[in-house]
Structure 1
């Protein structure tokens, strides 16, 4: 190759914006399209050829290549060699365009022969011509380019994708992957512009992502060293296959890339740890069959596989590990990580109710171990529940402000973002300090609370409360009945919360007063009508009117009516008094509001209670003269049942708020515990029933009609 033809890239790759360009007119465009060299020469004699461009910056050589005009290409390359390395507005050279368009291979060969450095030039997307050829599926072009410069097969574009990765991603379209594997370089080297090869997307990861075992086997057979490539975020191929639960791929890699099982990813986890983060028991079984000594695998936090499974809430994986041989399980059960947390601590901290239930039910698990903060698993769950309640009580505006503050402090470590927690509520007096600052990062001295290591996130309220309820029944410290019911629960409502409660209760009180007032003025009118001989005949015209008349005329009906009116008047006056007291709160001291709120709640609750009783009397009056005895009995039975239920519920209105909070705190554990059992076992029954449903469907499909 003569030195006169070879062109220096840096001197000739001049950005189009710095040239005083002239636009290629339609006649020149037509000359190039028709491959008419003579007409082209006559048209641009008065212009510098290098300055003739289209609106998107394509030169005459770009146009000639796109149309496959061989005569004009030969003429321009010979007369104006600087056009070879000129780029358009997208930084595409003529070789990029030729590779994309699939121009005749002899054109590409001539361009490469003239300047081999074209093969490594990148456009605005950092794609080389080989990238474009692979994307468009031009096998002949890709095969030629990789044969001339095999190392380009590993160059990464802006997305971190190499031509080899793209070929795998396209599913070996037109057999391009086979060509790249056969002709590509064996070991990636450093790119000339300083970009290391390849740091990110590995072609093996692409095959794993598609769950294509055939492509994986093809790569391993042609270039086994590619199995060792590591992605900066995803880890090696065994990490990635484990993370997406690709069971067949994990089996293959454990046979062909066993060394990958001893490597850690950017988070410090081994592939067996990544497998335990998922719900696939079969995946964990594959690792334990080859490595029956899981205690040797500790991540950078000092956590074993049971720690990881519990922290991620994989209850089935935890159960499977606990079912292994005693020698395998025993070193894992109660081991502590760097923060002193056992697997049960981590399940409690992250609100993983299923994993916590499986662990706490195993008698070998010690639930009284304390971590570096001197917290037992029950203490951790209690602390998390306090924080979940605190987050739940905050308005959306307050949470939005906290998120904005967190986003504006990206440079500040997450463990500096703090949430205030009452330590006496957590340890029930075991710590002397009144308050403590509990960090919000995951994993920093066991204080991963409300804010993750990268993003602000809220605690799972239901999962946290359910986990606390499970540990409440199985792992809480033993206390006397007196200690349980004398412990402080909750805290007094804030001023804004009290104001909101007063407004809501005032609406209810006025509503009850209006309803009872309407009932009080209606019944006497109805009784007058029934006692009047003038209206008696009118009422007797229908069966309903005759029943009502009989009910009112009898002594029992009259007593029921008197009872109805008494209860109705009682409910009316009680609700009115409550409404007046609530209005007083706007005129008196703020300290008077909580007591007024409690007393008014007591009265409004009583008015509602009396209103329900009065309704029962009204129904008895309506069916008293009816011949439908069974219907009347049903109404009476239903009324008695609900009367008892209302009585039990009304007791809470009578008790002081502090006592109510204690009762609610104790009963809530039963509610969450029962709901946990219903959800877990119903889900398990559904999972077990699905295969049976498939079998029944197959039987029905194959059943001879």
Structure 2
């Protein structure tokens, strides 16, 4: 039945005030009582408690439970500040305080167990309300024993177990049991107590431990003694699978726990041949994480595990190549059992070299291309070689990591596939816009070089002669060798850049094929212009400081180093694009390794981007 709302007799301001009062008020404790509980002053605490009782005109148990902002009682506070005398007094005269919970659902025993204070725990569990405390759970589902094990308080955990032999084998909201927490912490004695507990009902709740098996906890904690006890007590628990369908060997392989892997394979070898829900065997997990020692351990006990494939048909080398771990991959190539896998193909026909190229790992590509057993010409199911894939990436967008991957293959002499499918897809002519962008970029650089060298031609070091002799308008340093080098290199740089600019201007008027021809001609010539401009700078600075011989020699030495570096970095840009310059390909290996070393840390990030 609908009842109409009565009109309010209050004004708007009064209604707003009434609405504000509904926001709520936090609990507050008597200041003197709170101060006495925190400071441990037992005399002031007793006085404050008596005053609180007298003010409320009630009997003590009914009203002396004062709460702080987080619903903490005086026993919570005294326990937090380790004030033993006050805790002892409350447990004796007001034992019901031990069962009170704060806003987090913690009893004082939870706090004492978490802090690892064995004396406080003993005082609390000896109270008359201990039966209400030992099994109480807080808001995250932890009993006091859960808290003690989770925070690695072994002594407190033993006290709690000894005082409650009939403890229930429960799990918290994370699904972690007491046995899981004890196994994770590596407490061998406590694990034995829990496994032997007749009231624990471990076998009854085992089905609830699918994702939080104590065996998995022992592996994650790398506790081999706990692992042995669990195996001796209940071998069936080793068949439980955890997150993502992984068995204990998956977990051990994932964290690189060699001792655990050895123990599991010796006692439960069948686990090496079980997949997780993603289709990976334990040896694949070890490969993806770069744990080569685990791979060798598995192969030593299960040699045929090298033939295990993922759902995508990947072997261990495919998976390691995909991960991008160069050190691990280099070690894997040296394992004799894996030598024949370097040219194996997955379901898509991709070899490890294809996979490393697809995922843009230039270091692994370089490692593979230097291995004599690797066949560079192998094609996948689409008829693509690894070099075809790299060139396809280059034509789309030539990022730095893509260029490094392409260079690794080019230096090794990798070639394109000659099938018709390749000519129609990968080797299509670049789009007009892409070529035009490259031409415009080089044109800007060429004009900048021409401008700078033109200015340097008239701003010569040392100036001109000002006397009235026939050499009046000549440069003062005309007869010095370094000045002559300055003039010649500056002139060469200027005219080279102008020729590049004119060539590129002609290319702008043609189609994409003419642009590609112009680019092949312009790039080496622009390199000459940059080298000559560098030499011009060196000669000019040398002339200016020539009166100070040591500084002039330092400048000259630095210039030669940077000049050589410039040559080293620029040569690959000029000759890697053509298959006919095999000598330059070999020479380019050294600048390639330099760039790979210098920028190797950022290549993975670039690949992901």
Structure 1-normalised TM-score? Answer: 0.56
* Corresponding residue for residue 147 of structure 1: 165
270, 284, 298: which one aligns with 2:309: 298
Q: CA RMSD in A?
A: 6.1
* Corresponding residue for residue 464 of structure 1: 405
Contact 1:381 1:467 (C-alpha < 8 Å) held by counterparts: no
Distance 1:380 1:85 in 2: 69
404, 427, 449: which one aligns with 1:508: 449
Contact 2:253 2:282 (C-alpha < 8 Å) held by counterparts: yes
2:142 is the alignment partner of 1:127 = yes
384, 388, 393: which one aligns with 1:379: 388
Query: Per the alignment, in what secondary structure is the counterpart of residue 97 of structure 1?
Result: helix
Output one character per residue of 1:474-528: Cα deviation in whole Å (capped at 9) or x when no partner: 564479xxx9xx9967976577776665555544333323322122882545895
Distance 1:464 1:171 in 2: 46
Distance 2:438 2:387 in 1: 30
459, 469, 481: which one aligns with 1:518: 459
State the Cα distance separating 1:223 from its structure 2 match: 5.3
Contact 1:310 1:318 (C-alpha < 8 Å) held by counterparts: no
* Corresponding residue for residue 14 of structure 2: none
Distance 2:25 2:122 in 1: 31
2:57 is the alignment partner of 1:45 = yes
Distance 1:267 1:498 in 2: 47
Contact 2:250 2:285 (C-alpha < 8 Å) held by counterparts: yes
State the Cα distance separating 1:271 from its structure 2 match: 0.8
Distance 1:462 1:363 in 2: 23
337, 341, 348: which one aligns with 2:357: 348
Distance 1:248 1:528, change over 3 A: farther
Distance 1:599 1:364 in 2: 38
Counting only pairs closer than 5 Å after superposition, residues 554-569 of structure 1 correspond to structure 2 as none
Distance 2:216 2:354 in 1: 34
Distance 2:585 2:468 in 1: 51
270, 293, 296: which one aligns with 1:285: 296
Distance 1:236 1:380 in 2: 37
* Corresponding residue for residue 263 of structure 2: 252
State the Cα distance separating 1:232 from its structure 2 match: 0.9
State the Cα distance separating 1:53 from its structure 2 match: 0.5
Distance 2:275 2:595 in 1: 36
* Corresponding residue for residue 107 of structure 1: 124
Alignment gaps of 5+ in structure 1: 1-16, 393-459, 532-547, 624-634, 682-705
State the Cα distance separating 1:607 from its structure 2 match: 10
Query: Per the alignment, in what secondary structure is the counterpart of residue 72 of structure 2?
Result: coil
State the Cα distance separating 1:672 from its structure 2 match: 5.8
* Corresponding residue for residue 90 of structure 2: 72
Alignment gaps of 5+ in structure 2: 1-22, 547-555, 598-609
Distance 2:245 2:183 in 1: 17
Distance 1:120 1:337 in 2: 55
Output one character per residue of 1:138-170: Cα deviation in whole Å (capped at 9) or x when no partner: 134332477332413xx2455x65544444554
Distance 1:526 1:236, change over 3 A: farther
Distance 1:144 1:360 in 2: 65
Distance 1:578 1:676, change over 3 A: closer
Query: Per the alignment, in what secondary structure is the counterpart of residue 250 of structure 2?
Result: helix
Counting only pairs closer than 5 Å after superposition, residues 153-302 of structure 1 correspond to structure 2 as 155-156=171-172, 162-172=177-187, 176=190, 179-183=193-197, 185=200, 187=202, 197-198=208-209, 200=211, 202-221=213-232, 224-232=235-243, 235-294=246-305, 297-302=308-313
Give the count of matched residue pairs: 528
* Corresponding residue for residue 91 of structure 1: 105
Distance 1:242 1:475, change over 3 A: farther
Contact 1:489 1:665 (C-alpha < 8 Å) held by counterparts: no
Distance 2:102 2:187 in 1: 30
Contact 1:95 1:119 (C-alpha < 8 Å) held by counterparts: no
State the Cα distance separating 1:243 from its structure 2 match: 2.3
Distance 1:679 1:581 in 2: 32
Distance 1:168 1:527 in 2: 100
Distance 2:526 2:346 in 1: 55
Distance 1:575 1:156 in 2: 77
* Corresponding residue for residue 71 of structure 2: 57
Distance 1:46 1:299, change over 3 A: same
* Corresponding residue for residue 337 of structure 1: 346
Distance 1:115 1:466 in 2: 72
Contact 1:516 1:568 (C-alpha < 8 Å) held by counterparts: no
Query: Per the alignment, in what secondary structure is the counterpart of residue 460 of structure 2?
Result: helix
* Corresponding residue for residue 26 of structure 1: 32
Structure 2-normalised TM-score? Answer: 0.64
